[in-house]
Amino acid sequence: MYNKKVLSIFQNPKNAGGMKGANGIGKVGNAACGDIMKIYLLIEDGIIKDAKFKTFGCCAAIASTDVACDLIKGMTIEDALKVTNKQVFDILGDLPPHKIHCSVLAEEAIKAAVEDYYKRLEKAEKKNAENDEN
């Protein structure tokens, strides 16, 4: 069902696990469909310094999330937002048609983590502005 590359990444994901100090966290999927992805980002000066993940799902879901994390490390936020599920799919080499949604979820998880980063940044800036007024 899966090619050797997908199986290899699934068996030895480099980016699995949570991250203390993450300043962007994106969670996508749902238990009903069977795949839940959570990506943790550490962003400094607009650059993604590190990316980790926790994924509950199938082999394709775990491999897709691991590849997505590798892809975005070292990228600017703007470039990370341009990462597509096709890029993830191409790196994996091939996914069964009914598993392509896993690469789509990986793309969505990146976007959700960046969105969370911006929300946290806005909240911190607002808090700092309020403190400056006092």
Mean pLDDT, contiguous 10-residue spans, the chain (134 residues): 95 97 95 87 98 96 98 98 97 90 95 98 85 68
For the annotated catalytic residues, the residue numbers are: 33, 102
pTM of the shown model: 0.91
- Which helix (H) or strand (E) covers residue 128, if one does? helix 100-133
Selection from 117, 99, 122 nearest residue 51 by Cα: 117
What is the reported pLDDT for 15?
A: 98
Residue partners of 40: CB distance under 8 A and separation at least 6: 18, 19, 22, 24, 25, 51, 52, 53, 54, 113
- Pairing, β 24-30 against β 35-44: antiparallel
Rounded Cα distance between 132 and 134, Å, is 5
CATH 3.90.1010.10 fits 4-133, yes or no: yes
